[in-house]
Chains A and B, each alone.
Chain A
Amino acid sequence: MSGNPAILISGLTKTFGRVRALDGLDLTVEAGEVHGFLGPNGAGKTTTLRILLGLLRAGSGHAELLGGHPWRDAVELHRRLAYVPGDVVLWPTLSGGEAIDLLGRLRGGLDQRRKKALLELFDLDPTKKGRAYSKGNRQKVALVAALASDVELLLLDEPTAGLDPLMEAAFRECVTEERGNGRTVLLSSHILSEVEALCDRVTIVRDGRAVESGTLAQLRHLTRSSITAELDRIPDGLAELAGVHELAISGSRVRFEVEADRLGGALRLLTDAGVRGLTCQPPTLEELFLRHYQSAS
């Protein structure tokens, strides 16, 4: 997993009339990683993917995909990637199996053995016709078509939105297997737990702009620990200490949240005040994530 990144986007913009869907987006996906592309509805995830697929023209900025230009080199690039749209629509007169074969062939080939295995894993009946499928089953058709193709890069746009928990587990199994095979995956999602379970690195996007990016550990580092302590006396200056938030004092008991890199300073202040009891809740991504979501709305 060396060499050039699979996806390299910097300063990307895209406007639809007066709507600014992307506003200077940066995104780097290294080859071989599973990258979570996380953000609330309307953040610009689908727009980014459609630009990468050459379906939309980029406004300004730079976008590079597998070393090529998403618009100019679209056809050659598409042989090396597979895409699962967020809202799958099938042809009403084609059966699911036909759609899978067709999409695979249009991409340059499909592994029939793998198709059979995936149909079984996802418990999908390929003989139904387009509109006889539920939303989740349409999504499975697109997933099987993508996963059964021999490609380097998978672009998945909220692929589990219609799947039940059992199928979601099957999907996770597949993505883990794909990573094992050295494939790169860009997984757009608005569900944190999914990204936490699957991804090596995460980019959080909001209002068309990346607001955080890094490994899960790095992101956790950005979050706050929550501390509850029983003290001999209440220390001075705790409220003023940089990085301490939402301080609540009741008798000899203090509760507060503290940013990861300020933890040492806060603890020193506590020990000086005589600690009788201490609980420290580790940081969760949930909290970071909600913080970004809330400021989005």
Chain B
Amino acid sequence: MTGTFALVRLALRRDRLLLPVWIMVITGAIAGTASAIGELYPGMEQRLALGVTIGSTPALQALTGPVFDATSVGGLTAWRATTLATALAGLMSIMVVTRHTRAEEETGRAELIGACAVGRHAIPAAAVIVAGGANLLIALLLTVALTGQGLPGSGALASGLAVGGTGWVFTGIAVVAAQVTEHARTANGLAISVLGLAYLLRASGDAAGVETLSWLSPLGWAQGVRAFAGERWWVVGPLALTGLILVGLAALLARRRDVGTGLLPPRLGPSDAAPNLASALALAWRLQRGGLLGWMIGFAIGGAMLGSLAQSVGDIVNDNPQLAAILERIGGAGALVDTFLAAVMGLLGLAVGGFAVQATLRLQGEEAGVRAEPVLAAAVPRWRWTLSHLVIALGGTAIVITAGGLTAGLAHGVRTGEVGEQVIRLLGAAWVQVPAAWVSAGIAMLLFGLLPRLTALAWAALVAFALLGQLGELLQLDDWIRSLSPFAHLPQAPGGEVSATPLLWLTAIAMALALAGVAAFQRRDLAGN
């Protein structure tokens, strides 16, 4: 462990911008939600009315979790913001840990450090300390911010511990993933898949009212702390302990492998390339096909799980004649199911935006890794190299979300007994999301062409779009601010009226951004090492 302290300082220096932004966004999301709810629902009756609506809408519970106490501002805040904030804290922890462990090994910098007077666990230990510290800070800041808004101190503390604790669990998951995989990309992918699965488990459990399912997910534990609703402090235990156990597991695994390698020995490859590995596009496909397949599988699973929930949303309403009568006025249970499905599609759309950005920024990874240089030093025009990855990013976006729409349609169709019809409806609803995800890819491409050092802003933009979509209405942000997100312009589908105009506009904007990025790359210097 010698040298850990120096490595922590190095990591903090490298993350001096990124980490504070993450922390501010996560605490800001919850604190902002609390103040908005305090303003919008000042009276007990208003809050109770909201609580009844939520309670009677399993769709909302699937997406955000159940309300445990609708009488207080804190209870409603915990309901609305916990899932979002815990997911973001998990994402932050994964990114930070991978960046300072596996990514470092991959560039060989870790070897440089490892050769200095640094203990063999120093690198993962430093990453865990940085990520763990960030989560601790989030917990602290949340407690202070929520108490500062006049909410009960114990609830504020519970809220902070729930969010920070979930981040800590994912710190552990990420550091284990960094030990078992060989590349930063796969380590990130593995840990984010676990996060996605955790979300799906919790969503299924909460929507279907099967609490055991929710308890399988760390995101469910965060809810289980019940901040502002008779805190259950003991639930903080599993959060803290799981993180600790995972970190210990990573330390055990680290002892069993060499620097730069994963646990699995590298396999040998063919001594000659297949005949079709002969173009920039073939290379891009070869590099990206594994990731694409992973995303497709994830979407297929997610689509199936969420799709199979939709009908339960309707069933619960149908079981309750009073509620059904109320809902009849707004279109009945069928409309409720569609609202749920539309919200699911919106989530899939945001997630596929993640694929679009990641696949586009592969260009940046190739350039920074000096693997673009030999390709561009061969007879490959720059535009062909950029377009080859861009084509995969844009085409892959459509393919990935198709997988989600297809399985959602199948699962929902099987339950309603109209497979063909539902598959077509939900495929259409999935495709509606594509242009907005393309805009995210366009932003990434433009940044790569113009400001390659700032490509992380493409991720920041996507997170901002997610926050605008999830909290914009609640926070009563001005329309023009909310309309900054391309996802805000998508028609509601299924169940809404789909007009082509916004979709065509978004597609045009995405293409313009992407082509501007391609053009900018045509005339700039290639980064060396």
Contacts and interface: CB of A to CB of B under 8 A. Distances in A.
A106 B279 contact: yes
A121 to B, nearest CB: 16
A50 B376 CA distance: 11
Contact of A55 (B273, B280, B373): B373
A8 interface: no
Given A46-B528, A89-B370, A91-B287, A55 B267 contact: no
Interface string A42-80: 000010001001111100000000000000001110110
Interface string B510-523: 00000000000001
B183 A92 contact: yes
Nearest to A115: B272
Interface in B305-320: none
Interface in B482-529: 523-526, 528-529
A103 B369 contact: no
B375 interface: yes
Interface string B83-108: 00000000000000000000000100
A93 B528 contact: no
B523 A94 contact: no
Interface residues of A, number: 43
B270 interface: yes
Contacts of B266: 128-129, 131-132
Interface in A85-134: 85, 87-103, 105-108, 112, 126-129, 131-132
Given A56-B525, A78-B377, A89-B371, A94 B269 contact: yes
A83 interface: yes
Q: Is the interface of B mostly helix, strand, loop or mixed?
A: loop
A15 B377 CA distance: 21
Contact of A97 (B260, B269, B279, B290): B269
Interface stretch (B18-26, B152-160, B378-386): B378-386
A126 B525 contact: no
Contacts of B267: 129
B379 A129 contact: no
Contacts of A106: 278-280, 375, 378-380
A121 B525 CA distance: 36
A215 B374 CA distance: 31
B379 A98 contact: no
B283 interface: yes
A270 interface: no
Given A106-B280, A127-B271, 16 more contacts: A46-B528, A50-B526, A57-B523, A57-B525, A75-B381, A78-B379, A85-B373, A91-B283, A93-B287, A97-B272, A98-B277, A100-B273, A102-B278, A106-B379, A107-B378, A126-B272
24 contacts: A46-B528, A55-B373, A57-B523, A79-B379, A85-B374, A85-B377, A91-B371, A93-B286, A93-B290, A94-B269, A94-B273, A95-B268, A95-B270, A96-B269, A101-B277, A103-B375, A106-B280, A106-B380, A107-B378, A112-B272, A126-B272, A127-B268, A127-B271, A131-B106
